[in-house]
A and B are shown apart, each in its own frame.
Chain A
């Protein structure tokens, strides 16, 4: 007998019928990706954790509204995007008072590798829109069309944000890249 891994749409169908275990499995498959996406957006571990919890709760409540289970990843990240930007809007005055955007609130002792820190810092210098475009494309692997659905904007806007971000990252990371190639890192 050939065993097939249970696919997300199977789990979604079960969860829609009230099977909490199926939804838990779905959560365990996606929670780390969603958490990391949110962490880079909101730049704070506890906020990212709280928002992740809200995202999966909202997703569970809205599961019956998901028309096509195959579109679950984009739909889930759409919810995550809305929750993250809702938090950022609420925290904006506080962030403005804090001054310059800073890299994610991570314990530096856990990230001793300079290259990783440089990437973290470079991402922190992008605008939230640009950073999100990089996160969705480079780290989450969404296609332009899927990103346009998640962000509710035209593909041209997605490309513009992403391309500008890549140019900025290229310029920021160039010295680090060259040092790495020379074997200094």
Chain B
């Protein structure tokens, strides 16, 4: 495999709503920030790939107009996924593996706020049997949480511990939208939002954007002191029908983690795309992580959850910690679809 590294990462601060900007206006600071950090322009980029979905803002072909923020002229090599930007990064990584290009720009963005997000997300469900029921994303997550509690693998206190730790860690993250310090025991006294989920178990609705630059081999070494090398990356999907899955485990994450080689070394840091508190418990189990690993030091998706973007941000958060020397090896996870349907696992390492 060709050595490919994350060499730059930029994100906009997560906000409940960014009504004063359109999507490309919100996105440009992330793209320009990522390029400027490594003294590059679009003319230094071989391949551009983005992740977004027009359903969120209800703007047709918004992914075409946001490409204007890159400067795609003369024509560039470009692609888009209707998925989280983590999958755009995967496509870019594959493209760079072909060996003809050395650099890639990956970006993702979402204005999650213009619509009723849990209702908008019903459109990703099976269109014949489930989507017509308008089963919203929070209710489906609550079904999963209930199944997990009933299985005896976790308790509401475990969930509250995740929620409390994430928001407390988020206090050190300037890009976090939701950050506070309340003990888990206190969270348990809150009423249910959609039982068994409390508000504290749920992610905020977030508008935001992020951008990552990938570079191969010597190009990466020439741009940054300590590239965050992608040592393994894999993604797996489970059936669209929730009834066909055991919602208390994440088999797709487990397989992806195995293929990406998570267990082949010590994991200093893991950034998990777990929008709901109980999902972190499922993911930690599927990834085989233990107390040696710092989980979601950024606060994770419970602190800011820009749709189509929070997964890419997980990769960037791990890469930053490797590049700044605070970690040597880390795992980034991204998810898509209801109840952790699809999962992508990336293993990143710094040079020894």
Query: Does B bind A?
Result: no
Interfacial residues, chain A to chain B (CB-CB below 8 A): none
Q: Report B's interface with A, CB cutoff 8 A.
A: none
